[in-house]
Amino acid sequence: MQVLKDGSIENQSASKFEAVIKPKYVLTTLLDQVSRALCPDLNYFVGFSSVSSVVGNAGQSNYGLGNSALERICEQRRRDGYPGLAIAWGAIGDVGVVYERMRGSSLIGGTLPQPLTSCLAVLDTFLHSQYKAGNAILSSTLRPKWQEGILDGENGGKTRMTLRQKMGRVLGLTDEGFELKKELTLGELGLDSLMVSEARQVVADCNGGQRLSVSEVRKLTWVELGELEAELNCI
């Protein structure tokens, strides 16, 4: 069961938080208590979480908290000697609220929608291998190949992408497209709420994991990205 009541933090309320958190926290707590009492030798206890509990998602503070609570329960079960696994899924393809809201977009939050067949294969892997390795929280997302930072070069060679090239892929612009509008900010170039987390990650990957704020990323221009490349030595 999933309940969503999205909104900026100033428009949230205790009742909205409670409605969203209940399916994750209350139901998982009850299942935890019942399984300990009635089936202490249970082999698997698996909850579905979301990457929103780790990286956040604009307007979903309540949903992120609910998923985080589910993960803490699974961690506590592991500490107490019981099975417990929370899988933090990214965007799911084929079905679901996120997939329906994508409106033809191929990326959401910097990831591709993961087909159900892939999700089932990952679940099988987690249950048969990593599940027994002591990890209470595992994650599964699909990232575009270009995010690995490598481009196909001439004669079958490979070239490493620059910060600006990566940001261009986020926005769907080429180097030439950026040059024509080099004085515009990323926000003016169309960096929307779905792209901004990806853009922040692109900079963080180049900056030792340190993230710029949403407003700082939106205000960056093509020229400033070049200066940032040189400063961080990530050309």
Question: Residue 95's pLDDT is what?
Answer: 64
What is the pTM (predicted TM-score) of this model? 0.61
Domain spans, the chain: 9-140, 146-229
Handedness of CA 47, 53, 57, 60 (dihedral sign): positive
Read off the pLDDT of each residue in 25-54 and give the average, rounded to a whole number: 90
Q: Is the pLDDT of residue 104 over 50?
A: no
Query: pLDDT value at position 66?
Result: 84
pLDDT of residue 38: 95
Token pair listed for 20? 């969203």
Average pLDDT over residues 11-33: 83
Lowest mean pLDDT among 54-63, 69-78, 102-111: 102-111
* Choice between 146 and 212, residue whose per-residue pLDDT is larger: 212
Question: What kind of architecture, by CATH, is found in domain 146-229?
Answer: Orthogonal Bundle (1.10)
Residues paired with residue 114 on neighbouring β-strands, in sequence order? 92
Q: Write down the pLDDT at residue 160.
A: 73
The fraction of the chain above a pLDDT of 70, given in percent, is 69
Which helix (H) or strand (E) segment holds residue 161: the answer is none
The CATH number corresponding to 9-140 among 3.30.1130.10, 3.40.50.720, 3.30.450.20, 3.30.70.360 equals 3.40.50.720
Answer whether residue 109 shows pLDDT above 60. no
Whether 9-140 and 146-229 share one fold: the answer is no
Q: Is the pLDDT of residue 166 over 90?
A: no
- Give residue 122's Cα distance to chain centre: 16
Task: Please report the pLDDT score of residue 90 as a whole number.
Answer: 82
Instruction: Tell me what the mean pLDDT of segment 4-18 comes to.
Output: 67
What does the DSSP 8-state code read for residue 181?
Answer: T
